[in-house]
Amino acid sequence: AFGAVYPKHFQRKQSYVSQGNNTLLFYGELYNELDSLTEVEYTLLMFEKYGVQCLSNLNGPFAFFCWNESAQTLLAATDRLGRFPLFYCLIDETICITSDLHPLFASGLMTPSLAQESVIDFLTIGFPLGEKTMFDGIKRATAGEYLLCSPNGIEKERYWKPEYSNT
């Protein structure tokens, strides 16, 4: 799930914790008051207490995956600014979610094929727009979104929207 080489100030060791039916794999940093808990423990506690509503209260750069054994669901989320990207695709009946595309291509599950429209976006404005990526068949969860994966497929929801002001 996690791979990419991030800038040194973001390089942290990923950690996980299991409790009850949930296992949470966390990468990043939280600026919340953690009350002597680790970031992964705090995130799992908030998730178990408030569900996906906890996401808008997590402050800092992060990405995490939370597997719920009883519901057979995987929640994958990135922070409000999307500093740690989450890429996803569906290959046959296999859902792939990763923060780095290199392992996906190296696995042989998918052969990289450039998406012409995204290449044009990149050459014009410097990045693909919205959920598009540089590769056919691969989408990106944008900032402030989470993915909920189940046997029924992938649902994408926005949990945070920036508020604009004219003042």
- At 5, is the pLDDT very low, low, confident or very high (cuts 50, 70, 90)? low
Q: What local confidence, expressed as pLDDT, does residue 12 receive? A: 53
Q: Quick check: 9 pLDDT over 80? A: no
**Residue 153 pairs with which residues in a beta bridge?**
150
pLDDT tens digits along 86-112 = 999 988 888 899 988 888 899 899 999
Gyration radius of the chain over CA positions: 16
pLDDT digits (tens, 9 = 90+) for 113-147: 999 999 999 999 998 988 999 999 999 998 999 99
Kindly report the number of other CB atoms within 10 A of residue 77's CB atom.
25
State the chain's mean pLDDT as an integer. Answer: 88
CA atoms of 91 and 21, how far apart (whole Å): 27
In whole angstroms, give the CA distance from residue 78 to residue 130.
15
Bridge partner residues of 26 (DSSP) = 15, 64
* Size of the chain, expressed as the number of residues it contains: 167
pLDDT score recorded for residue 161:
84
Choose between 31 and 10: higher pLDDT. 31
**Is residue 166 very low, low, confident or very high in pLDDT (cuts 50, 70, 90)?**
confident
